[in-house]
């Protein structure tokens, strides 16, 4: 599960964002869905971009996802995405689907692009119909030449998030500078396969659609699908990748000699955005990173890591800076994976707390001090296999309960 094959050739751009790649613009505005905050965002490519996406596994898949999947299926390309926050347009029946199709048609007409080259995304309250008059008015005000500001897009897609999430990287392929940028939202109801999060990744690389699709699926399983905030999987969300080819490199695919560089750049963008979502969990005060090694397979290690990071007892112990390793070993034990309890080792940062299934004498105060930091790493070894995985999450605080007790009201 190594992701460091080409990392020395990749530069993370200072203040990089979803518009860092050539040919992309984005913006956002307030159209009236929410009281004051920006609530309508748009992303545009100067030319049609090869596109692919991954989507929630929740059976109640929201209308925008249905429309976006059809757009990509019809042409395997996108040129624009329209996103609203405040209302999810989920569980809204035929009217909701009609509204999502109208949003697609409106943004396509406004930007003078093919209808099938437009995608739709929504996030917010489930069950309410979109205020289409406000959305129509908002889309009419979009002008990529006049009001293109990436930070407005990053703000417009947020719900209970406390901050924007963005990243961009650059590297050379075929002697051309290639850039990958991204923006995301997500704070609560995060337990992907996918969850309440939206991820938008752009690149000016020239990439085959099949290879782009395989790369996104591979990286999603090791990044966005390895985060959790509260164990709930939402109705709406997705990650989309658009590659417009404007860097003018030779077509990238698995047999290209520099494919690994592109693959690593895409992974870095996915991982950074995933970690930012986990760090910004509703009411969260700490980012928690769980490393699992020694499993029989990578897939088994992923299950163990997700069980640890999803455990409310582990999350509350971390919030209270309580080095209660018993909660961690319990989560490992009910993961359902093949392991020998007598070989399990656990450490909090560099502090060993369990070796071969039994407690190690450790300094309680030192462990509490470590768990008081804003970034916590839990290392676990569950055997002698080659399987390994990393998962990300956050602590579970009193503030999380307060936010979600009044989300609708």
Q: Which domains, from first to last, does the chain contain?
A: 7-279 (3.60.70.12), 287-405 (3.10.20.340)
* Confidence (pLDDT) at 195: 37
End-to-end CA distance of the chain: 44
Mean pLDDT throughout 234-255? Answer: 93
Residues 387, 301: Cα–Cα separation, whole Å? 6
Burial (Cβ within 10 Å: 0-12, 13-18, ≥19) of residue 59: exposed
**3-state SS class at 285:** coil
Lowest mean pLDDT among 5-9, 13-17, 305-309, 394-398: 5-9
Q: Is the pLDDT of residue 276 over 50?
A: yes
Residues forming beta bridges with residue 181, ordered by sequence position:
168, 202
* Joined tokens for residue 191: 């337990």
Looking at the predicted structure, is the pLDDT value of residue 140 above 60?
yes
Q: For position 103, what pLDDT does the model report?
A: 98
Q: Lowest-pLDDT range, 15-19, 166-170, 216-220?
A: 216-220
Q: Confidence band (pLDDT; 50, 70, 90) for 104?
A: very high
Q: What is the enclosing helix (H) or strand (E) of 313? A: helix 312-319
27 touches 153 (CB < 8 A): yes
Task: Provide DSSP, 115-133.
Answer: GGGEEEEEEEETTPPP-HH
Rounded Cα gap, residues 292 and 241, in angstroms = 29
Cβ atoms 266, 382 nearer than 8 A: no
Read off the pLDDT of each residue in 163-184 and give the average, rounded to a whole number. 96
How far does Cα 255 stand from its chain's mean position?
A: 28
In the chain, pLDDT over 90 holds for what percent of residues?
75
- Determine the pLDDT at residue 236: 82
Give CA–CA dist 56/91, Å, rounded: 14
Q: Cα–Cα distance between 67 and 12 in angstroms, integer?
A: 33
How far apart are alpha carbons 87 and 291 in whole angstroms?
Answer: 36
Please state, in angstroms and rounded to a whole number, the distance separating the CA atoms of residues 80 and 125.
Answer: 24
* Nearest alpha-carbon partner for 16 in 245, 177, 214: 177
Asked if the model's pLDDT at residue 31 lies above 90, the reply is yes
Give the pLDDT of residue 7: 64
Measure the CA–CA gap between 163 and 357, rounded to whole angstroms.
Answer: 40
- Euclidean distance between CA atoms 151 and 168, whole angstroms: 13
Residue 240's beta-bridge partner residues? Answer: 53, 200
Contacts of 26 (CB under 8 A, 6+ apart): 17, 18, 19, 41, 42, 43, 44, 148, 149, 150, 152, 153, 183
Omega cis (within 30) before 194: yes
Q: Given a cut of 70, is residue 260 above it in pLDDT? A: yes
Average pLDDT for 160-177 = 93
- Catalytic residue set: 196
Q: Which residues 6+ apart lie within 8 Å of 260 measured at CB?
A: 5, 6
Give the three-class secondary structure for 394.
strand
* Distance from C-alpha of 400 to C-alpha of 409, rounded to nearest angstrom: 15
Quick check: 38 pLDDT over 90? Answer: yes
Q: What is the mean predicted confidence (pLDDT) over 54-80?
A: 91
Choice among 58-62, 120-124, 241-245, 333-337 with the minimum mean pLDDT: 58-62
Q: How many contiguous H segments (helices) and E segments (strands) does the chain have?
A: 11, 15
Q: What pLDDT does residue 282 have? A: 63
Q: Give this prediction's pTM.
A: 0.85
CB atoms within 10 A of CB 15: 9
Tokens of 86: 């405040």
Q: What is the pLDDT of residue 189?
A: 39
pLDDT (0 to 100) of residue 194: 34
For 24-38, 41-55, 247-261, 267-281, which range has the lowest pLDDT when averaged over its residues?
267-281
Taking CA atoms, 148 is separated from 19, 27, 113, 155, 257, in Å, by: 9, 5, 18, 13, 36
Has residue 281 got a pLDDT over 70?
Answer: no
Q: What is the pLDDT of residue 284?
A: 75
DSSP codes of every residue in 223-266: TGGGB-SSS---SS-EEEEEE--TT-PPPB-TTSTTHHHHHHHH
Q: Is the pLDDT of residue 232 over 60?
A: no
Q: What is the pLDDT of residue 144?
A: 83
Q: What is the structure's pLDDT at 258?
A: 96
Q: Stretch 20-25: mean pLDDT, rounded?
A: 97
């Amino acid at each position: 599960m190594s992701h460091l094959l080409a990392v020395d050739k990749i530069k993370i751009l200072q203040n990089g964002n979803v518009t860092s790649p050539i040919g992309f613009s984005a913006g956002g505005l307030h159209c009236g869905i929410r009281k004051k905050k920006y609530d309508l965002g748009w992303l545009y490519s100067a030319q049609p971009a090869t596109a692919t996406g991954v989507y929630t596994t929740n059976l109640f898949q929201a209308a925008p996802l249905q429309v976006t999947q059809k757009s990509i299926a019809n042409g395997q390309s996108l040129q624009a995405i329209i996103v609203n926050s405040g209302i999810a347009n989920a569980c809204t029946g035929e009217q909701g689907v009609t509204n999502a199709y109208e949003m697609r048609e409106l943004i396509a007409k406004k930007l003078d692009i093919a209808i099938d080259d437009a995608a739709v995304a929504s996030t917010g309250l489930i069950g309410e119909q979109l205020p289409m008059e406000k959305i129509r008015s908002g889309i009419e005000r979009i002008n990529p030449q006049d009001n293109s500001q990436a930070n407005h897009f990053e703000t417009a897609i947020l719900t209970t998030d406390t901050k924007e999430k963005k990243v961009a990287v650059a590297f050379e392929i075929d002697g051309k500078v290639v850039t990958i940028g991204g923006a995301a939202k997500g704070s609560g109801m995060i337990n992907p396969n996918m969850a309440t999060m939206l991820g938008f990744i752009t690149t000016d690389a020239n990439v085959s659609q099949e290879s782009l699709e395989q790369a996104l699926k591979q990286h999603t399983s090791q990044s966005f699908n390895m985060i959790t905030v509260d164990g709930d999987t939402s109705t709406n969300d997705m990650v989309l990748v658009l590659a417009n080819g404007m860097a003018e490199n030779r077509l990238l695919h698995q047999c290209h000699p520099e494919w690994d560089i592109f693959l690593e750049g895409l992974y870095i963008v996915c991982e950074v955005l995933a970690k930012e979502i986990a760090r910004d969990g509703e009411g969260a005060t700490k980012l928690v990173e769980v490393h699992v090694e020694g499993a029989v397979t990578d897939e088994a290690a992923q299950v163990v890591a997700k069980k640890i990071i999803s455990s409310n007892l582990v999350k509350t112990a971390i919030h209270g800076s309580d080095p209660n390793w018993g909660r961690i070993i319990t989560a490992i034990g009910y993961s359902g994976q093949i392991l020998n309890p007598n070989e399990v080792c656990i450490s909090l940062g560099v502090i060993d707390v369990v070796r071969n299934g039994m407690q190690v004498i450790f300094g309680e105060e030192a462990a509490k001090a470590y768990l008081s930091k804003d970034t916590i790493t839990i290392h676990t070894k569950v055997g002698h296999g080659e399987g390994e995985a990393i998962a990300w999450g956050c602590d579970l605080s009193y503030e999380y309960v307060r936010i979600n007790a009044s989300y609708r009201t």
